[in-house]
Amino acid sequence: MTSKVQVTAHHAIHCADPTAVATLESPFRLGPIDALVIPFVPIKNVFVYQKPASTAKDSFIPIERLRSAVTYLLDYYPHLIGRLGFNLGTGAAEVDRLGNGAELQEAY
């Protein structure tokens, strides 16, 4: 049996502390180990949680709690809300457009 995933909502995610991005140099240059990654590998994270049958839909990982937790996490990893690019002169990977944000999607 195949089932399709349907996205029900999109949420913009930024750092909880707006000054977290201000401390980074733009563009944010990645380290030498990052240069070993194949340049066309997209960077995405997907977390899938299966709701137990005994749990009410409204009480299973409230989206605002998850959204809040991710915004605080991004205070420590603000470069994750930039965009991956490559320096035209050196070909080195770097993150620019810091602070553009990430997206949290709700789906079923």
pLDDT in the model for residue 105 = 87
Peptide bond preceding 27: is omega within 30 degrees of 0, i.e. cis?
A: yes
> Does the pTM exceed 0.75?
no
Predicted confidence (pLDDT) per residue in 12-34, tens digit? 999 999 888 888 888 888 877 77
Backbone angles phi, psi at 19, to 5 degrees: -80, -10
Helices (H) and strands (E) in the chain, counts: 2, 5
Beta strands in 1-108 (DSSP E): 7-13, 28-29, 83-86, 93-96, 102-107
50 or 7: which leads in pLDDT = 7
44 or 71: which leads in pLDDT = 71
**Which fold is adopted by the domain 7-107?**
Chloramphenicol Acetyltransferase (3.30.559)
Six token digits for residue 91: 């070909």
Predicted confidence (pLDDT) per residue in 53-97, tens digit? 888 777 778 888 889 999 999 999 888 888 888 888 887 788 888
* Domain parsing of the chain, residue ranges: 7-107
